[in-house]
Amino acid sequence: MGLPNAYPYEVMGAPHSLYIGVAGLARPDIDAAPAVDWVLVGTAGNRSYAEEGVRVNSPAAYNYFRGHGSAAPRKAFRSEEDVIIGVTLADMKLEQLATAFNKLSTDVVETGITRKLGLSRGLGVQTVALLVRGPSPYMDDGFAQFWIPTACNVTSIELAMRRDNATTYPLEFRAIWYDLATSGEEMGVYEAEDGTT
């Protein structure tokens, strides 16, 4: 069973959920729930996310050749491409905050009646796999998903402890080229159920 989506299906306005797994974790079947290896971000899942929801961004940079005889470009060269997944989280549990500090929930140390999270990140940058799940743009009761086989957390965290609203912080992940992926999917893939297969 997928996620509800009223007609017209391609006009999307629905909560999506972000999952984290070990780098290179296989893409789950589109019509099955993510396996236990995929950990939902946010204690309450997408109800722990700020209203702008999960963001998928694919910026690129270009260089242009311009001939001496014209101001117009004659050829373009792509010099950079990225896939960036982001969400703003309102969840101060240390197991969730650990993600922002490029750590795992297992890095939270429990001693007696306290839990502790070290804030030092060190020189190494941990890589993870990402999965963004939402409804299909082709049908009601179907799934669509972004799968990023390898990404690193590039979050710079700022916590504003306020009395009049939730404390939120951004999580931002940048895809890293994955040599073991199928050709064309090295930075990830987007797929959706279409109801006809």
CB 145 within 8 A of CB 191: yes
| Secondary structure of residue 136 in the 3-state scheme | coil
The per-residue pLDDT for 192 is 94
DSSP state of 102: T
The per-residue pLDDT for 48 is 95
CB 189 within 8 A of CB 168: no
The per-residue pLDDT for 45 is 92
The per-residue pLDDT for 12 is 86
DSSP assignments along 22-81, one per residue? ETTPPPPPTTSPPPTTSEESSTTGGGGB-TT--EEE--EEEEEEE-TT-SSEEEEEEEEE
Residues 126 and 83: their CA atoms lie apart, in Å, by 17
Work out the angle at residue 12's Cα, subtended by the Cα atoms of residues 6 and 16, and round it to the nearest 5 degrees.
105
Predicted model pTM = 0.90
Per-residue pLDDT of the chain (197 residues; tens, 9 = 90+): 567 888 888 998 889 999 999 999 999 999 889 999 999 999 999 999 999 999 999 999 999 999 999 999 999 999 999 999 999 999 999 999 888 888 877 788 888 899 998 888 888 888 999 999 999 999 998 999 999 999 999 988 888 888 899 999 999 999 999 999 899 999 999 999 998 65
The pairing of beta strand 84-89 with beta strand 73-81:
unpaired
Q: Which CA distances in Å does 31 have to 3, 107, 139, 141, 163?
A: 10, 32, 13, 10, 42
